[in-house]
Structure 1
Amino acid sequence: MSERINNIDMDKLSNTDEKIRKNGGHFTAEKHIAGEFHFDGSPMFTAELKSEMATFTMGADEPGVLGGMGIQPTPLNYLMMGVMSCYASTVAIQAAKKGIKLGKLKFTGHLYYDIGPVVEDLDFPIIKALNIDVEADMDIKEVLKLSEKACPALYAIRNPIQTEIKQIK
């Protein structure tokens, strides 16, 4: 049985590391998600998300202030969940690679935003700030810094990503 540190399978991580080293530091991957906006009721949007082991149908609503039903989580809830869960896993991985066994690792996210530009044609920034508070049972400031650099979701929100939006039908 493989050793697990911070719920990270060290054998699998080692195998991935070996593949990365053999490929000049690269291990490319892709994610594809298809979703649909619904014109009646809640959820307003659904998408099928797949893991290695299962498929999940996720739903989202806009909050009441944007005319939505407010029943399902909002798209920004999913954004925060994605960033926080990615960062949490990255922290666990970075700590495990250093042999640090954590007993407590909690995250609280705070997103500050302005709905004005969503409703009106305004040029104000929509997202003002995302702050993440981390609680751990030991000092992991060094691991947190390494994780900020290594987390794909943090990278995505901190760096412009080439984005193409086109109507296909």
Structure 2
Amino acid sequence: MSLINDIDVQALKETTTAVEADPRLGEATFSVNGAWQGGCRLTAQTGALTTGGERDETRVAKYTISSDEPVALLGTDTAVSPAEYLLQALAGCYTVTLAALAAAQGIELKGFRLALEADIDLRGFLGIDPTVRPGLQQIRVHLDVDAPDTPREQIEELVALVEKRSPIRDTLVNPVDVATTLA
């Protein structure tokens, strides 16, 4: 097994080859099931994960996720806010994407750090100004990549590729269909 950045490079190549041969193997469906806990609080659990048409029930209720809002935003500050989860999702996806892409290119990372910030204007959420979107206005990601044996230009190209290939970043910067149904 060849590990670069704790990524099994051979497994990555085999996965790429398998998905190239059968694109259905690259299809995945994540799920979460949640229940309101009053106020701004939600408790959710992971649901089944479906990959390549196969449903994996071992993830059902494996992890519990709670959310709330800070007191300044009408919550009780008992858990991470949805906006912070969104930043975590982006940071986590950048981590997976950066480590895997670097490994695929033979770039050995000594480490990296991410700092993320997001701005929101509550006038949109509160319905005060219909010209203000209720969503985040901007997300800023600062990366500090430590790869001493790699020229900065190559790291810049790697980061540009991370921006292009990160599934969560793509979800944030491009419209995605969100279908809501009422039981």
The 2-side partners of 1:66 and 1:119 are apart by: 11
Corresponding position of 2:10: 11
In the alignment of these two chains, the number of paired residues is: 165
Correspondence for 1:78:
85
Alignment match, 1:68: 75
Instruction: State the match for 1:37 in structure 2.
Output: 36
Amino acid at match of 1:110: E
Please say which of residues 12-21 and 145-154 is displaced more in the overlay: 12-21
Who is 1:150 aligned against? 165
Q: Structure 1: which 5+ residue stretches go unaligned?
A: none
How does 1:21-60 map onto structure 2 within 5 Å?
A: 21-23=20-22, 27-39=26-38, 44-49=41-46, 55-60=62-67
1:49 is displaced (CA, Å) by 2.2
* Mapped partners of 1:3, 1:161: distance in 2: 36
Distance 1:106 1:82 in 2: 15
Q: What TM-score results when the alignment is normalised by the length of structure 2? A: 0.82
Q: What TM-score comes out, normalization by structure 1 length?
A: 0.88
How many angstroms does 1:114 deviate by? 1.0
Q: Which residue of 2 aligns with 1:162?
A: 177
Give the drift of 1:26.
Answer: 6.7
Residue in structure 2 matched with residue 132 of structure 1 by the alignment: 141
Q: Deviations over 1:89-122 (max 9, x none)?
A: 1011111000000102111001111122222353
Identity of aligned residues (%): 23
Q: 1:99 aligns with which of 106, 109, 125?
A: 106
- What is the RMSD of the two structures over their aligned residues, measured on CA atoms? 2.1
1:112/1:129 contact within 8 Å kept = yes
Post-superposition CA distance 1:5-53 (Å, at most 9, x none): 112122321221111121259711111111111127xx81011126887
Say which SS state the counterpart of residue 34 (structure 1) adopts.
strand
Q: Could you tell me how far apart the structure 2 residues matched to 1:27 and 1:56 are?
A: 23
